């Protein structure tokens, strides 16, 4: 077999096909070249497909970018806000109902049974996905508050206690839960807001409450999560 000479129009195609960079184009153009056996070109081109080298790095880069985006940790926000219109109901429970209520200034937590909380810890364990079921307490904001009313966990306790009053984060990972929530005041009713707490270790959880419309006033209470009631400081 004699390869095309440099002056032959097929010479450059022959050189490129020997390098294996134009497999499909070579097969189509071979019919226009005379005195050249195309069999060796086919063998060489198919052994090193050019598309493999061109597309693999781009595909790998796309995969790496996607993985980085989905694994980026969520930062805890400064606070979450619930407005009056996001309430679920009103009042302090059914008339005549005998549920324990923890009053903290202008707010109240419904069904806070301190004796039961002191002896149970199952809700402190995260799921296999790192999410917390938490313990649910409906929070009531009294209509006489000026507002907004801020409920928060003191900074030293935030590694062990968080608030979950965002309906879109009802089963959060730890960093998705809030340490501060601001509640709007409904001037004509005592508004109920659904939510609760997540706790990751037995502790006396301190809760701070302030009415942002009243300067210098703050209330506090302690909730015994997995610890004896008498080990928690009295409400303040």
* SS3 at position 14: helix
The span from the CA of 179 to the CA of 229, in Å, is: 23
As given in the structure block, the two tokens for residue 136 are 């649910």
CB atoms within 10 A of CB 103: 16
As given in the structure block, the two tokens for residue 231 are 């080990």
99 within 8 A of 110, measured Cβ to Cβ: yes
Q: What's residue 32's pLDDT? A: 44
Tell me which of 3.40.50, 2.40.360, 2.60.40, 2.50.20 is the CATH number of domain 80-231: 2.60.40
User: What is the pTM for the complete model shown?
Assistant: 0.68
Q: How far is CA 192 from CA 5, 137, 172, in A?
A: 90, 10, 21
Per-domain boundaries in the chain: 11-71, 80-231
Residue-level pLDDT, tens digit, the chain, 236 residues? 555 455 554 444 444 444 444 343 333 333 444 443 333 433 344 444 444 444 444 444 444 444 444 445 567 899 999 999 999 999 998 777 789 999 999 999 999 999 999 999 999 999 999 999 999 999 999 999 999 999 999 999 999 999 999 999 989 999 999 999 999 999 999 999 999 999 999 999 999 999 999 888 899 999 999 999 999 987 75
C-alpha atoms less than 13 angstroms from C-alpha of 177 in its C-beta half-sphere: 28
- Which residues does 162 contact at the CB level (< 8 Å), separation at least 6? 153, 172, 174, 177, 178, 179, 197, 198, 199
Q: What's residue 94's pLDDT? A: 72
């Amino acid at each position: 077999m004699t390869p095309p000479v440099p002056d032959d129009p097929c010479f450059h195609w022959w050189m490129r096909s020997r390098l294996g960079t134009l497999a499909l184009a070579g097969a189509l153009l071979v019919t226009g070249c005379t005195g050249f056996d195309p069999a060796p070109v086919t063998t060489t081109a198919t052994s090193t497909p050019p598309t493999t080298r061109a597309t693999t790095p781009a595909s790998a880069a796309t995969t790496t970018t996607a993985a980085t985006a989905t694994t980026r940790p969520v930062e805890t926000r400064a606070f979450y806000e619930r407005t009056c219109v996001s309430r679920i109901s009103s009042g302090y429970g059914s008339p005549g109902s005998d549920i324990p209520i923890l009053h903290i200034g202008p707010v109240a937590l419904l069904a806070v049974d301190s004796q039961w909380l002191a002896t149970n810890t199952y809700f402190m364990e995260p799921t296999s996905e790192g999410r917390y079921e938490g313990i649910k307490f409906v929070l009531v904001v009294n209509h006489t508050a000026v507002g907004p009313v801020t409920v928060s966990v003191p900074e030293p306790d935030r590694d062990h206690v968080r608030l979950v009053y965002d309906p879109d984060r009802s089963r959060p990972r730890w960093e998705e839960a809030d340490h501060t929530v601001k509640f709007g005041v409904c001037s004509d009713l005592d508004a109920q807001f659904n939510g609760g707490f997540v706790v990751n270790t037995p502790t006396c959880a301190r809760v701070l409450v302030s009415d942002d419309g009243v300067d210098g006033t703050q209330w506090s209470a302690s909730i015994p999560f997995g610890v004896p009631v008498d080990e928690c400081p009295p409400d303040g």
